Amino acid sequence: MKKVVLLCCCLLFSIAGFSQTAAVKGIISSGTDKRPIIGAAISVKGTKLSTVTANDGTFSITIPGQTATLIFRSIGFLTKEIQVTANQSVDIVLMEDVSQLNDVVVVGYSSKKQSELTSAVAVVSAEKLKDVTANNVGTMLQGKVAGLQVVNSSGAPGSAPEIRLRGVSSVNANQSPLIVVDGVIGGNYDPNDVESITVLKDAGATSLYGSQANAGVIIVTTKSAKPGNTKFEFKATSGFRTADFGKMNLMNSNELYDYQKEFYRDYIVGATDNSYKIDLIKFYAERPLDLRNQDYDWSKESFKPAAINNFYLSASGATEKNNYYIGASYYNEKGTFLNTGFQRINLRANSTYHFSKKLSVTNNINLSASTGKSYDYNDIYYAFLNLPWDNPYDENGGAVYVDGNSAFKWWSRDKVNPIHTVQNSEHPYKGFDVNYDFALNYNITNWLTFSSTNRVSAAFNKATNFFSPLVAGTYHNTGYIDELNTLNYGGISNNLLKFNFKFGDHSVSGLAGVAFEGGQTEYSGGSGKGLPEGLKVLNVVSNSQLVNGYNDKRYLQSLLSQVNYNYKSRYFLSGSFRVDGSSAFPEENRYAPFPSVSGAWLMSNEDFMKDSRVIDNLKFRLSYGITGTQDIGSSRYLGLYSLTTQYNSLIGAVPYQLASPQLTWESKHQINAGVDIGLFKRLNLTLDVYRNNTKDLLLQVSQPLSVGFETKWENAGNVVNKGIELGLNSTNIKTTDFEWSSDFTINFNSNKLYGLPSDIVKTGAWSISQIYRNGGDLYEFYMPKWLGVNSQTGAPLWEKQNKDNQGNIVSTEATSNYAEATIQESGSALPKYQGGFNNSFKYKNFGLRVSTYFNYGNKVYSNNLRFMMNDGHEPYYNQIRLPDDAKIWSQPGDTEATEPSPQNSANSTETSTRYLRDGSYFTIRNIALNYSLPTAFVNRMHFQAITVGITADNVVTFSKFLGQDPQTTITAGSFATPGVSDFKYPNNRQYLLTVNFNF
Amino acid sequence: MKKSISTIFILLLISASSCKNLNVEPSDAISTNTLVTTLDGLTNALNGSYALMKDHISFNGSIDQNNMYLRQFFQLSDFASDDIVCGQITEDPFFASFSLDHSPAQANTRYYWYVSYKIINGLNTVIDAVEKSGATDAKRQQLLGECYFLRAFCHFNLVRLFGKPYSADPASPGIILRTSVTEESKKARATVAEVYASVLTDAEKAASLMTISRGVQYASKEAAWALLSRVNLYKEDNQKAIDYANLVINSGKFTLETASTYPSLFANAQTAKETIFCVAFTEVDDYGKFGSIASMIYSDGNSGWGEEYASSSLRGLMASHPEDVRWSYIVPLKDGSGTVQKKNGIEVYYISKFSFQAGRPNLSSPIMFRLSEMYLNKAEAEAKMNNAGLALDDVDMIRKNRGLETALYNKVVPSGSTALDAVLNERRMELAFEGHRTYDVFRNKRQLNKTYWGYHLRGLKETDVDLSKSPSGYPNMVVDYTNPRVIYYLPVDEVLSNPLAIQNP
C-alpha cells in the first residue's frame, strides 16, 4: 500500500534528497502520542542554518561555535526554543497546540487566527461532522452552526438538503450559501475528504465574495497531510435505511371499510326526509364484506428497507518538500422506493510541493463519478393513494397489469399499478465531474507573497427516462425514452498579492488582486416513442422524435482587496473592497462595488484581564458591509422572443421576456455585532445580533396578464432580516476517564418586506398562494381561513370578512360558500427560530454523541391531505387515519364534528387553512456510539487506532404536523411552493455500523 | 527552473488582467428589436402566434400540461354545457365549469387569459413593424391579414368567456382590448359592444388584406369571412351573418362532408373538404394523457383519463335517429356483454372529436371553422329574420349529409316548436363538443338544462345515482342566461396588478 502511495507521489513530483553533517543530534517526538515527528523544522536562531527531521524523527544540525539556540517548529505544535552545546544529543518533545484561539481559520482568500477574526465566523471540524454519514456536508451540518437552517426536504438517494443562512433575504435570486472549496468558488468534494468547514455569516467576512455571497459563504477545506509518517485511514460504513412516513398513516382495509360507511348516510342537502342514518343495505350491496379480507399495504410494498455502504481509504504524508493527501471513497445508497438508488466514487489527490522557501505549488485533483436511479412522482403518488382492497400482485406473485380495459374489479381511483409501472420503466442518471486546482505561492519578499489559485472544472451529466412498451398507461405499446445531457465547464482564476508585516505593536496584513470566473453550460437531449421491446436507446425510437438543446454562458470579473490591522493583538480593524462585473446586467450597470469594514476588541488581551481566572477570552466585534446578487440567469434585461417552438413544422417565435434596460444589482447591507466569551476554559459562548437589509430586490414584478407577460424583472422592494444567534459549547464534566460536553445553537430570525410597488401574489400548484406585501414576511401563505363545520348542515365553513370602504374589517362571519371566503394572510413558511442541541460523552474508550435539531414557528401546507382527508370527494383514494380528536359530521346539531359531511362538502378540500399546519418539530437527528479498541491490542496488530461505531439517524421526530414530514422545501420552483408538503420521497431512518482503521 | 516559473507567473498575470467581454447573447432566443427587422423574423413571430394555441407554456413558474390555449378553451366552453357530463369529481380546475363554483384564482382561466394576451402581444408587435415599414407586397399583406384575423379571433373568444352575451347586455364590461404596442399596461375593460366593434374591424381588415392561400392550417380570407359570419350572428346583425356565410359557401373552396366521409372528418381535419381553418397539430404535438385535449373525454384504456362523457341530454336529443352519422363521435365503453360501462355511476360515452389523427387517440388538429357552421349560421339568421323555409332548407342541407335523408324538415316547422328551435337543435348535434353550445344557448337568452345525473350536482355521491329517474333537489341544475356564472371571473392576477380592471359580479 505504502508503495502505491509513494508511486503516486512520484508521478506528480520527484522527491529531492537531503542530508547534512552533524554537530548537534537528536530526535523530536510528539507530546501527545510520543511518536516521532517527521518533517519538523529545526533552525539555528540568528542564522540561516536549518534542517528537518527524517522519517524516524531524528535530525542533526551543524551549529556555528560551541553554543546556539535551536528553534523547533512543526505545524500543529507549539514552537520550542532550547540552548544546545556542540555534539550534544537532545530529545525534544513538542506539545500539540490545542489552543483554539490560535487555530488557523480559513476565511476565503486568506487564513487568520481565530483570535484575529473581526467578523461572525463559525468553524466546524471534521470531528464534529463525522457522526453523520451522508453524501453531502449539508446534512452533516444540521444543528451544528448557529444561524444555519438545513432542511432535508427529500429522502431520495443522493439528494442534498436545502441550506439557508440567517433566513431568506432574496426572492428570485439563489438563496443557497456560496460553497468555496479549497479557496476557490464552487467545486466538488467528498464529505470524507473534508478537514474543516468554515461558515462566514456577516458581511465583514463575506463581502470579499461580493456579488456571490448574498446568502453567506460555506468554506470547505479538504484534508492535507500532517507532519509525520505516512498515515493511512480506512473506514467502512454499512447499514440500512427505512422510509420515515411521519404521521402519514394510511388506512388499512378495515379502517377504510368502516370509514366508507359515512358515504352512505341518508342525507341529501335541502331534502326534507333525511334520516341521517347509514344505509347499510346499500353499503353492503356495493361494498361486499369480503373486502375486509383484502388488505394490501401499498406503501409497504413500495418502500422497503435499503442498504447503504460507504468505504473510504486515504493516505497522507509530509516531508520537507512535499505534502500529499490521497483519498478514495465509494458510496452506495439504495433507495427505499422500488428501483431507486445512488452510488458515487470519488478520488482526490492533494499535494503541495515546496520548490524552495519562496515557491510552492499545489495541485489538487478531484474526480468523481456517480450513477443512480431516480423515480417518477406519479409512482410515489399512487403508492400512497391506491386502495388496500386492490392486490398489487397476480397469482404468480408478479405485479398485476391493470389499465382502463381490465375486466377485473379495481377499486382504486385510477387503473394504475405503480409497482408494475416501476418494473417496466426506469429513470437512470449518470454524472462525471473533474476539478483540477492549481495554486502557486511565491514569497517575493518576507512580507509580500504572490498567490495564484486556479481551477478548471468540467462536469457531464446524463439523465434518462424510459418506459417500456409493456408499461400500462400513456406509453403502453409504444414505449418512450428521453435523454438530457448537460455539459458544464468553466474556469476560475484568482491572482492576489498578499502582504503581512509588523512594526512594533502594529501588524498589517492584507491582499489585493484580480479574479475571473467563466462558465458555460450546454444542454442537449432527445426523446421519442415507438421502441421495440427490450431496447432502450434513442436510436431505436420510431416516431414522435423530438430534439432539444441550448447553451448558457456567464462571466464575472472582479477586483478585490482587503487590509487587516491590529494593535498589540487587542484592537483589530479590517476593511475589504471588491468590484464585480457581471454579464447578467446591461452594459451601464455591469459593475458594482462591495465594501466592508469590521473591527474587534479582544479585551481579554488587555493587561488588566490577562490574568483573569474567570474569563479567558472576551472579544467584541462589529461589522458592516454590502454583498450583492447577480445570480438570476443570463439576459434578464433583454426584450426577447423565444425560438423554441414550431407551428406546422415551421419555426415559431414567441414573446418571451419584457425588456428591462435598467436592471441592476440587488445589494444586501449587513450590520453585525457580536461577542465571544470564554469562561473557566470550559465554556465558550458566541452571541451575534444582525440586521441585513436587502435593497433593490431583483424581483419578477407582476404585470397585468393582459399585456401578455406575467412578470417583468425589476429592482423593487426590500427585505430586512433581523436576528439573534447564539452558539454555546461547554465541557460540563471532565475527569480522566469521563468527559461530557454540550453544544447548543439557536437562531431567531424575522424578516419583513417593505418598499414593494404593490402586493404580489404568487399562486402555485393547487392554487396555493403566497403574498409578498409591505410589512409582511417572505413566503406568507394567503388563503381562506377554515372555521370547521356547520353543526346544522355538516357543510364546511370559512371566514368571510366584511370590510368598509377603507378596507377595514368591520365584522366577520362564517360562510359555506367558498367563493365568498376572504383570502387572508395566514403565516409564513419560514421558522421563527431553529437550532441544535448536541451532547457528547466519553468514558474511557467509549464515546456517545447525540445530536438534535429543532425548528419552531413555521407553517407547512400539508397538500397531501387534499387527497387523503378528502371528505368523499375522491372516494377511491386511500385516506389518512384521522387524528383522535377528529369527527365526521353525522346529523344536525353535531357540534363535536370537525370534518364535513361527505354529503355536503362542496369545496371542502379547496385551499384553505384547513390543511395549513404548524411545521414546528424537534428531532433526534443522530445518535452515535463508538468504541476505540485498546491501544496496546491495536498496536500489536500494527494499527494505530481502530474505532468501531454504530449510529442511528433521524431516530425520532416530535411534531404536531399531520402529514408526511414537516421538513418541507423552502425553495420556490417548478411545481414547488416554499412550505408546501406534497407527495414526496420520504426521508429515511438510517442505522449504520462503522469501522475505522488508522495505520 | 526559475525561468519557467517566472514565465508561468507572467502568463497568469496576463490572463487574469485581460478583460473579458461581458456581453452574453441567449442561445435560443432573439431580441425583439432584431426579430422584427426581417420578413423571416416576422413570419416566425406569426407562426409563434399559431403555436401558442397548441403549446404548453410556462405559467406561474411551471409548465403544467393542463395549460394549453385550445384545451382550456374547449373545457371552459363545453364542460359548462349540457353536452358533456362530469363522471368524476376532480381537483382539476375545469371542475368549476361543471359545478359553477368559479373562482378568480382558477388556474385554467388565468392561463387562458394570459396566453390569449401573449398571442395578441406578439401579433401587435408584428402589425406595428409591418405597418411602420410601409411595405405593401402580397406576402407582407397576407402576414398582416393573418395577424388581424388572429387578434380578432382571440379577442372574440375572450369576450365570449369573460363578457356577457352581446344580446343580453352590449354595454356591460367586456375584456381589455389590446391593439397597440405602446399603451399603458394598466387599462380598463372595453364594453362588450366596443370589443365586438374592434373584432369586426380587425376581421374585415383581415379579409381585405389576405390574398394568398397557405392551407387550412393558416388564416385565410375565407376564415376571416367565417369569423365575420359568426360574430355578426352573435351580434344579431343577421343579414351580415348570412352575407358572410354565403361568401364562404360560394367561394367554392369547401364542400360538406357526406354521411360516408363525415366520420373521418375530425381525424383528418387538415385535408378534409369542410375545414376552413384548423390549428395544425403534428406528430410531435401529441401530448398524451397529461396534456392533450382528448385525454379527458376519451381513452382507449391507457391513452387518457376519460372522465367526462357525452351527456344523456345530448344523447336523448339524438336518440330517435341511430342512423345519424354524428353518433360516430360518441363512443360507448361496453363490457363483454355489450352493456355500457359506468364510472362512478355515470354511463361512459366517450367523445372522439379530438382523436385519431394518424390513428393516435390523443391527436387531432382542432377545427376552428368549418363549412357546416356557415349553413347553420345562415339558418339561424334566416330563422330570426322569419324565413323559416330558408332556414330549414339550410338545416336539411346538413341533415342530408349526415345520414338523415329520410328525416328532412322540407320547410315544415314541427308542431309545438319553432324554426329557431329546429336550427338550434341541429346546431347542437352538428357542432357538439366544438365550443359552441353554451354561447348558442345564452346568446339566445335561453336556459341550460342540466337535470341529469352527473357530478355537476353538488355533493353527489356514486351511491346517490339512480339512472331510472331524474335527479331532483340539487342547485344549479337549470342555468339561466342571466346567471352571473354563465361567464367566468377575470383572473385574480389581472385584477390585482391592474386596478382599472373591474371584476365580474
Could you tell me the pLDDT band of residue A223, with boundaries at 50, 70 and 90?
A: confident
Radius of gyration over alpha carbons of chain B, in Å? 25
Distance (Å) from the C-alpha of residue B122 to the closest C-alpha of chain A? 6
| Count of helices and strands (H, E) across chain B | 17, 11
Q: Which pLDDT belongs to residue B9?
A: 55
Query: Using CB atoms, which residue from A405, A583, A647 is nearest to B301?
Result: A405
- Which cell goes with B412? 315544415
B342-400 pLDDT, tens per residue?
998 999 999 999 999 999 999 999 999 999 999 999 999 999 999 999 999 999 999 99
Q: Is B221 helix (H, G, I), strand (E, B) or coil?
A: helix
Q: Which pLDDT belongs to residue B384?
A: 97
Chain A residue with Cα closest to B125: A655
Q: Which of B435, B269, B274, B428 is nearest to B355 (CA)?
A: B269
Please enumerate in sequence order all residues whose Cβ is within 8 A of that of A743, keeping only pairs 6 or more positions apart, or say none. A128, A144, A727, A728, A729, A836, A837, A838, A839
Average pLDDT over residues A670-674: 94
Query: Using CB atoms, which residue from B22, B44, B501 is nearest to A583?
Result: B22
Kind and range of the H or E run holding A284 = helix A280-286
A860-915 pLDDT, tens per residue?
999 999 999 999 888 899 999 998 899 999 999 999 999 999 988 888 998 999 99
B28 with A644: Cβ contact below 8 A? yes
pLDDT over 80 at A234, yes or no: yes
A470-494 pLDDT, tens per residue?
999 889 999 999 999 999 999 999 9
Contacts of B459 in chain A (CB under 8 A): 268-269, 903-906
- Which cell goes with B216? 387550412
Beta-strand pair B29-31/A640-647: antiparallel
**In whole angstroms, how far apart are CA A914 and each of A862, A886, A962?**
9, 12, 11
The alpha-helical segments, DSSP class H, found in B251-311 are: 288-291
Contacts of A909 in chain B (CB under 8 A): 91
Give CA–CA dist A764/B101, Å, rounded: 20
CB pairs under 8 A between A and B: 297
Query: Using CB atoms, which residue from B20, B62, B299 is nearest to A516?
Result: B20
Chain B residue with Cα closest to A823: B105
Chain B residue with Cα closest to A407: B335
Displacement of CA A1 from its chain's centroid (Å): 35
- Which cell goes with A851? 445530536
- Which cell goes with A617? 477570552
Query: Using CB atoms, which residue from A635, A706, A762 is nearest to B498?
Result: A706
pLDDT over 80 at A13, yes or no: no
Mean pLDDT over the full length of chain B: 93
B178 with A514: Cβ contact below 8 A? no
Beta strands in A568-590 (DSSP E): 571-582
- Which cell goes with B208? 381585405
Query: Using CB atoms, which residue from A638, A758, A903 is nearest to B31?
Result: A638
Contacts of B488 in chain A (CB under 8 A): none
In DSSP terms, which residues pair with A363 in a beta bridge?
A351, A438
Q: Which of A18, A23, A78 is nearest to A319 (CA)?
A: A18
- What is the share, in percent, of chain A residues with pLDDT greater than 70? 96
ipTM score of complex: 0.92
Q: At what angle do helices B69-78 and B107-133 cross, to 10 degrees?
A: 130
Cβ–Cβ < 8 Å for B463, B346: no
Cβ–Cβ < 8 Å for A13, A78: no
Contacts of B283 in chain A (CB under 8 A): 543-544
Average pLDDT over residues A508-517: 92
A906 with B101: Cβ contact below 8 A? yes
Query: Using CB atoms, which residue from B13, B43, B301 is nearest to A404?
Result: B301
Contacts of B41 in chain A (CB under 8 A): 653
Amino acid at A787: L
A440 with B496: Cβ contact below 8 A? no
Give CA–CA dist B459/A267, Å, rounded: 10
Contacts of B492 in chain A (CB under 8 A): 761, 763
Range in A170-184, A769-783, B242-256 with the lowest mean pLDDT: A170-184
A710 with B493: Cβ contact below 8 A? yes
Q: Which residue has the cell 508511486?
A: A7
In DSSP terms, which residues pair with A517 in a beta bridge?
A492, A556
Q: Which pLDDT belongs to residue B18?
A: 52
Distance (Å) from the C-alpha of residue A659 to the closest C-alpha of chain B? 9
State the burial class of residue B476 (Cβ atoms within 10 Å of its Cβ: 0-12, 13-18, 19+).
Answer: middle
Q: Is B296 helix (H, G, I), strand (E, B) or coil?
A: helix
Cβ–Cβ < 8 Å for A372, A345: no
Contacts of A414 in chain B (CB under 8 A): 305
Q: Which residue has the higher pLDDT, B115 or A23?
A: B115
Could you tell me the pLDDT band of residue A22, with boundaries at 50, 70 and 90?
A: low
Give CA–CA dist A578/A596, Å, rounded: 9
CA-CA-CA-CA torsion sign (A868, A869, A870, A871): positive
A329-366 pLDDT, tens per residue?
999 999 999 999 999 999 999 999 998 888 999 999 99
Query: Using CB atoms, which residue from B35, B175, B473 is nearest to A653?
Result: B35
**Cβ atoms within 10 Å of A942's Cβ, excluding its own:** 7
Cβ–Cβ < 8 Å for A244, A989: yes
A704 with B118: Cβ contact below 8 A? no
Q: Which of A360, A413, A421 is nearest to A390 (CA)?
A: A413
A764 with B61: Cβ contact below 8 A? yes
**In whole angstroms, how far apart are CA A725 and each of A217, A672, A684, A728?**
17, 11, 14, 10
Chain A residue with Cα closest to B66: A765
Contacts of B15 in chain A (CB under 8 A): 493, 516
Chain B residue with Cα closest to A452: B12
Q: What are phi and psi of A53, to 5 degrees?
A: -75, 150
Average pLDDT over residues B245-249: 98
- Which cell goes with B226? 367565417
pLDDT over 50 at A15, yes or no: no
Cβ–Cβ < 8 Å for A152, A142: yes
pLDDT over 90 at B188, yes or no: yes
**Cβ atoms within 10 Å of A303's Cβ, excluding its own:** 25
Mean pLDDT over the full length of chain A: 88
pLDDT over 70 at B2, yes or no: no
Give CA–CA dist B38/A303, Å, rounded: 57
B496 with A646: Cβ contact below 8 A? no
Distance (Å) from the C-alpha of residue A285 to the closest C-alpha of chain B? 10
Radius of gyration over alpha carbons of chain A, in Å? 32
Q: Which pLDDT belongs to residue A44?
A: 85
- Which cell goes with A819? 367563493
Average pLDDT over residues B121-148: 94
Query: Using CB atoms, which residue from B103, B464, B498 is nearest to A819?
Result: B103
The alpha-helical segments, DSSP class H, found in B385-488 are: 388-400, 419-430, 437-443
Give CA–CA dist A611/A426, Å, rounded: 68
B22 with A710: Cβ contact below 8 A? no
Give CA–CA dist A316/A227, Å, rounded: 9
Q: Which pLDDT belongs to residue B8?
A: 54
CA distance from start to end of chain A: 11
**Cβ atoms within 10 Å of A943's Cβ, excluding its own:** 16
CA distance from start to end of chain B: 85
Chain B residue with Cα closest to A758: B497
A682-737 pLDDT, tens per residue?
899 999 999 999 999 888 888 899 999 998 899 988 999 999 999 999 999 988 88
- Which cell goes with A133? 454519514
Chain A residue with Cα closest to B494: A704
Count of all residues that appear for chain A in the document: 999
Range in A378-382, A551-555, A816-820 with the lowest mean pLDDT: A816-820
Q: Which residue has the higher pLDDT, A761 or B216?
A: B216
Q: Which of B318, B317, B381, B306 is nearest to B350 (CA)?
A: B306
Q: Which residue has the higher pLDDT, A76 or B221?
A: B221
- Which cell goes with A452? 495564484
pLDDT over 50 at A9, yes or no: no
Q: Which residue has the cell 494499527?
A: A943
Cβ–Cβ < 8 Å for A121, A107: yes
Kind and range of the H or E run holding A397 = none
Distance (Å) from the C-alpha of residue B383 to the closest C-alpha of chain A? 38
pLDDT over 50 at A11, yes or no: no
pLDDT over 60 at B1, yes or no: no
Q: Which of B69, B12, B307, B464 is nearest to A440 (CA)?
A: B12
**In whole angstroms, how far apart are CA B94 and each of B76, B103, B106, B308, B336?**
7, 11, 8, 11, 32
Amino acid at A53: T
Q: Which of A313, A306, A307, A305 is nearest to A345 (CA)?
A: A313
Give CA–CA dist B104/B110, Å, rounded: 8
Give CA–CA dist B203/B410, Å, rounded: 35
A708 with B45: Cβ contact below 8 A? no
**Mutate which: A654, A706, A818, vs B, most B CBs within 10 A:** A706
Kind and range of the H or E run holding B16 = helix B2-17
| Count of helices and strands (H, E) across chain A | 11, 53
B32-83 pLDDT, tens per residue?
989 999 999 999 999 999 999 999 999 988 888 999 999 999 999 999 999 9
Average pLDDT over residues A222-235: 84
Q: Which pLDDT belongs to residue B6?
A: 55
In DSSP terms, which residues pair with A499 in a beta bridge?
A448, A510
Q: Which of A856, A845, A875, A879 is nearest to A949 (CA)?
A: A845
Q: Is A161 helix (H, G, I), strand (E, B) or coil?
A: coil
Chain B residue with Cα closest to A783: B105
* Domain ranges in chain B with CATH number 1.25.40.390: 5-210
Buried b / exposed e along B172-201 (16+ C-beta atoms within 10 A): bbbbbbbbeeeeeeebebbbbbbbbebbbe
Average pLDDT over residues A108-122: 85
Distance (Å) from the C-alpha of residue A21 to the closest C-alpha of chain B? 27
Q: Looking at the domain B5-210, which fold is it?
A: 1.25.40
Query: Using CB atoms, which residue from B289, B336, B475 is nearest to A474?
Result: B289
Q: Which residue has the cell 540552548?
A: A83
Give CA–CA dist A844/A834, Å, rounded: 33
B4-27 pLDDT, tens per residue?
555 555 555 555 555 567 788 888
Distance (Å) from the C-alpha of residue A640 to the closest C-alpha of chain B? 4
A763 with B60: Cβ contact below 8 A? yes
A581-622 pLDDT, tens per residue?
988 889 888 899 999 999 999 998 888 887 888 888 899 999
Q: Is A125 helix (H, G, I), strand (E, B) or coil?
A: strand
pLDDT over 80 at A181, yes or no: yes
B494 with A706: Cβ contact below 8 A? yes
Query: Using CB atoms, which residue from B45, B102, B302 is nearest to A403?
Result: B302
Distance (Å) from the C-alpha of residue A547 to the closest C-alpha of chain B? 10
B501 with A271: Cβ contact below 8 A? no
Query: Using CB atoms, which residue from B19, B93, B498 is nearest to A704?
Result: B498
A149-159 pLDDT, tens per residue?
888 888 899 88
Please enumerate in sequence order all residues whose Cβ is within 8 A of that of B40, keeping only pairs 6 or more positions apart, or say none. none
In DSSP terms, which residues pair with A509 in a beta bridge?
A500, A564
- What is the share, in percent, of chain A residues with pLDDT greater than 90? 55
Amino acid at A963: G
B461 with A903: Cβ contact below 8 A? yes
